[in-house]
Amino acid sequence: MKMNGNVKKCSSSCFSCNCKSSSPPPPHVLVVTYPTQGHINPLLQFSKRLVSKGDLKVTLAITLFVANSMKLPSTTNHSNIQIKTFSDGFDQMGSEQADTVEAYLNRFKIVGSQTLRDLITKQQQQQQQLICYCSSTSTASSPPPPPPPPLRNGEFMAPFCCVIYDPFLPWALDVAKEFSLLGAPFFTQSCAVNSIYFHVQQGLLSVPLATTAAGTVISLPGLPPMEVSDLPSFISDYESYPSVRYLVLNQFSNINKADWIFVNIFHMLEHEVVNWMSKLLPIRTIGPTVPSVYLDNRVEGDNDYGLNLFEPSRNTCIDWLNTKEIKSVVYVSFGSLAVLKAEQMEQLAWALIGCNYNFLWVVRALELNKLPTNFSQQSSEKGLVVTWCPQLEVLCHQALGCFTDIETCIREVMEGEKGEEIMRSANTWKILAKEAVDKGGSSDSNIEEFVNTLQHSHAEKVDASDSA
């Protein structure tokens, strides 16, 4: 490309222009998250796995509220992952700003769809501005136009080729298809649960089921026989949490448009239901998506999630656990979405005291008022209640005995032969999980296949644009 009589190369991010000396950018994937901790972390970990496979860029899209709450940098510790924002329509307080869950989801769809379009369009325009600039400076005899605005340090130039999204936001797939992009939902829940929701959404399992006679057996392909009480509460008690039921069922509203479907489990864990669903949908198991240091240790620098929506009480939790004996602590947590009634909180509180084991209980700040009066004083010798904790470190701590929520189960897990059997089974699955993500394992192979497909498709588009 000639500029002011001198021959210069285009930016390495330039392609599809008259300059043949530039190197094409790698494939660029947009990962769209639902704004809760338990949904952001798995997608971030999956992004780390993707970029570890070779020349690939990832933009992790989070809501403005989450970005402001986390006080995030524009990049992560991984140079091939950058962070961008879009809006859920409630930038100041997130879902708490909405009057109802329905109001939040409805506005999120409207505002989220538009701001996601804006993000994709901006990325395309950045590339196009450079293409036009390079073309004009290499062919025109008149003075060249002003160059496109400079990118911020580390910002990626290439347009997106694929959108991976949380299926709580199914409209993200519709937006991807508007731009003729590949689209893939990333399911954080197990394939068994997904299969049940799929059957209900598709009309293959009639609801409501609450009036079904006790003892009635429900049979679904790839799953063991179940009673109504074995199903997720959104299905077994159909009138409970209607907004959440809509959220989980709507994940499959446009699933037929998806090019891939990623599930955060490994094949051996649920091979029967995975095999059945794979006959209907392009299912790929790619989990577990936890930091590599806890699994195969093949992703450099991947020691923790790196993003926290809440401030974890790390020192308080770990220092307390360090004073406890091996396998003597019960860990209780319901995540960032579940909301317990006051009577449920009370029953659980007294069960924890009644079992007479040490316990670490994570109770979100907004839920603390549901604890029984004087509970902290009565449980101070055995228990620790915090509003958030570094869960991976807690789960790996030698003091931890189980992760459950009712007194009978606590005693069953912590005592006797049944508890030993559960521990042996857990260790077996731990080994199989590591094998799945290690080189050549089922999850590793599925990720390799996806990345190779993206790179091949991207190379074909670059070749076609070069020859045009």
Domains of the chain, start order: 2-298+442-467 (3.40.50.2000), 314-434 (3.40.50.2000)
Say if CB 274 and CB 283 are below 8 A apart: yes
pLDDT by 10-residue block (mean), the chain, 468 residues: 38 42 79 94 95 93 91 63 96 92 95 98 77 52 56 70 98 98 97 96 85 74 92 84 90 97 97 97 96 88 77 81 92 80 89 88 89 87 88 86 68 73 88 95 97 89 68
Residue 22, pLDDT score: 55
Say if CB 283 and CB 276 are below 8 A apart: no
Residue 152, pLDDT score: 55
Chain position carrying tokens 């299969």: 195
Residue 3, pLDDT score: 36
335-363 burial, b at 16+ Cβ within 10 Å, e below that, comes to ebeeeeeeeebbbbbebbbebebbbbbbb
* Strand pairing category for 2-3 and 6-7: antiparallel
User: Which amino acid, residue 255?
Assistant: I
DSSP 321-333: HTTSPTT-EEEE-
Residue 413, pLDDT score: 72
Q: For residues 265 and 192, give the distance between their C-alpha atoms in angstroms, rounded to a whole number.
A: 10
Residue 72, pLDDT score: 56
State the CB neighbour count (10 A cutoff) for residue 141. 4
Residue 217, pLDDT score: 86
DSSP 163-195: EEE-TT-THHHHHHHHTT-EEEEEE-S-HHHHH
- Evaluate if pTM is beyond 0.75: yes
So which residues are the catalytic ones?
39, 166
Q: For residues 227 and 201, give the distance between their C-alpha atoms in angstroms, rounded to a whole number.
A: 19
Listed in sequence order, the DSSP H helices in 98-236 are: 101-139, 171-178, 191-201, 233-236
Helices vs. strands in the chain: H and E counts, helices first: 15, 13
Q: For residues 30 and 185, give the distance between their C-alpha atoms in angstroms, rounded to a whole number.
A: 12
